[in-house]
Amino acid sequence: MVAAIIPVIAQVVLFGGLPLPRPLGGAMPSLVSAHGGAIGERIGRLSLEVTGPVHDIALVLGPADIARQVTEAFHRDREAIVDRIARGQLGLLWATLPGAVKAQIEGYFARAVPMVIDRAIAEIIEAIEDLVDVPGMLSRYFARRHDHLANMVETVAAPAFRVLRYAFPAVLALPLVILELAAPASLAPVVGAATGFIASLGAMTWMFEPPPARWRERMPSWMITPLLPERPMITGLYADTVANDVFKIEAVIDELIAGSGARATRAIIERRVAAIFARMPGRPMLSLIIPPSAMEGMQAAATAELLALLPRAMAEPVFAQRCAARLYAHVTARFDALDEARFLGVQRGILRGELPLLHALTAGAFLLVGLVAAFP
């Protein structure tokens, strides 16, 4: 009875949490929720091992498609953007400029900004390994979305726990019979705890480590591990999570402009914007009309407009779906190329820090059983 219940309890502790009396806080969060940041960091490191470096992922997202999308967004709002850059910094001076001068400035920006976008995106992609901290990004992402993380990991682990509900009693049957018939009552707690720990360790080893090839030829597939028959489902879940959550284009752009690489990303765009201002037609004449501080303000405003344009352009649904589809295909191909041992190793790595707690939970449950047996 206890053996059959333990996998259920373990699944609840891992993914659902436990209710507690109100004086104790009302609820104990699940292990996955409590460790969301750490698990997210692990997922980031494991994802890079499987999908390749960040630069490869950025290439899969499509730099040319990204630049084209941002350019199209600029052209849609070009007049308003140029007006905000110029009018916001020049005020009445912009209104007093001759129409031909304003048209020349607007036409120059219309031609030059797309080149800035192309070159800035290319430079960001080349430097992206230094701009995006994937483990840190995922640690922050899943720390804010621990319920989503728990659901994701539970979906992957559900087949294993489903099998354990039936396999665990069988694994423990022989040692429990020996405990009942041969062990002195005084040793029941120790033997019970040892039995629970060894059974838990054996069950997790069975789940995450395939047996040697020479054994597998004579073993039915359901005895090898419950995870391999579910491999297509697990691969699809990972690919969907990577494409639509972890490395979705909006999340990557957000990390570039607001995360650890924000300063470097801004510096790239500032340098490109400064170059087009330096090459602006009639710059010597404009310098006589426009104060240096106002020109610097226009450059800063242009940089801010382009930085604000990036997330707006990336949020367009059809474009985001194109990026996600490319990334989904890439991740699926990489996961399909893993051998079975490496595939199972990735699954184990996600919960590496929580497995010892599961072993301790099982050992503690059987310690209690042993205490009851020793002191009825």
Q: d(Cα 47, Cα 105) in Å, to the nearest integer?
A: 46
DSSP 67-130: HHHHHHHHHHTHHHHHHHHHHHHHTHHHHHS-HHHHHHHHHHHHHHHHHHHHHHHHHHHHTHHH
Please determine, for residue 255, whether its predicted confidence score (pLDDT) is greater than 80.
Answer: yes
User: For position 23, what pLDDT does the model report?
Assistant: 53
CB 240: neighbour CB atoms within 10 A?
17
Average pLDDT over residues 228-241: 83
User: For position 122, what pLDDT does the model report?
Assistant: 93
Q: Which helix (H) or strand (E) holds 309?
A: helix 292-314
Q: d(Cα 367, Cα 372) in Å, to the nearest integer?
A: 9
Q: Which is it for the CA torsion 57, 58, 61, 62, positive or negative?
A: negative
The burial class, CB within 10 Å (0-12 / 13-18 / 19+), for 311 is middle
Domain count along the chain: 1
User: For position 263, what pLDDT does the model report?
Assistant: 92
Q: d(Cα 25, Cα 225) in Å, to the nearest integer?
A: 38
User: For position 124, what pLDDT does the model report?
Assistant: 93
Confidence of residue 27 (pLDDT cuts 50, 70, 90): low
User: For position 250, what pLDDT does the model report?
Assistant: 85
- What does the DSSP 8-state code read for residue 375? -
Helices 146-181 & 188-208 angle (0-180, nearest 10): 130
Q: Evaluate whether 227 touches 347 at the Cβ level (below 8 Å).
A: yes
Beta-bridge partners for 350: none
User: For position 67, what pLDDT does the model report?
Assistant: 93
pLDDT higher at 118 or 167: 118
Query: Mean pLDDT over all residues of the chain?
Result: 76
- pLDDT tens for each residue of 279-299: 877 777 777 677 778 888 888
Please determine, for residue 25, whether its predicted confidence score (pLDDT) is greater than 90.
Answer: no
Confidence of residue 106 (pLDDT cuts 50, 70, 90): confident
- pLDDT tens for each residue of 304-347: 999 999 999 998 899 999 999 999 999 999 989 988 878 877 77
Tokens standing for residue 247: 């490395």
- pLDDT tens for each residue of 159-169: 656 666 655 56
Q: Which residues contact 68 (CB under 8 A, 6 or more apart)?
A: none
Please determine, for residue 196, whether its predicted confidence score (pLDDT) is greater than 60.
Answer: yes
- What does the DSSP 8-state code read for residue 353? T
Average pLDDT over residues 261-274: 92
Please determine, for residue 104, whether its predicted confidence score (pLDDT) is greater than 60.
Answer: yes
User: For position 371, what pLDDT does the model report?
Assistant: 56
Q: d(Cα 115, Cα 245) in Å, to the nearest integer?
A: 30
Average pLDDT over residues 93-106: 78
Q: Which helix (H) or strand (E) holds 22?
A: none
The burial class, CB within 10 Å (0-12 / 13-18 / 19+), for 349 is middle
Q: Which residues contact 116 (CB under 8 A, 6 or more apart)?
A: 269, 272, 273, 275, 276, 306
User: For position 171, what pLDDT does the model report?
Assistant: 56
CA dihedral 136, 137, 143, 145 (to 10 degrees): -160
Please determine, for residue 254, whether its predicted confidence score (pLDDT) is greater than 90.
Answer: no
- Residue-range definition of the domain harbouring residue 266: 2-374
Of 32-41, 179-188, 322-331, give the range with the top mean pLDDT. 322-331
Tokens standing for residue 24: 């104790």
Of 124-138, 178-192, 212-226, give the range with the top mean pLDDT. 124-138
Q: d(Cα 84, Cα 107) in Å, to the nearest integer?
A: 15
Which contacts of 112-118 are long-range, i.e. CB under 8 A and separated by 24 or more positions? 112/276, 112/279, 113/71, 113/74, 113/78, 113/276, 113/306, 114/71, 114/74, 115/276, 116/269, 116/272, 116/273, 116/275, 116/276, 116/306, 117/67, 117/70, 117/71, 117/74, 117/306, 118/67, 118/71
User: For position 20, what pLDDT does the model report?
Assistant: 54
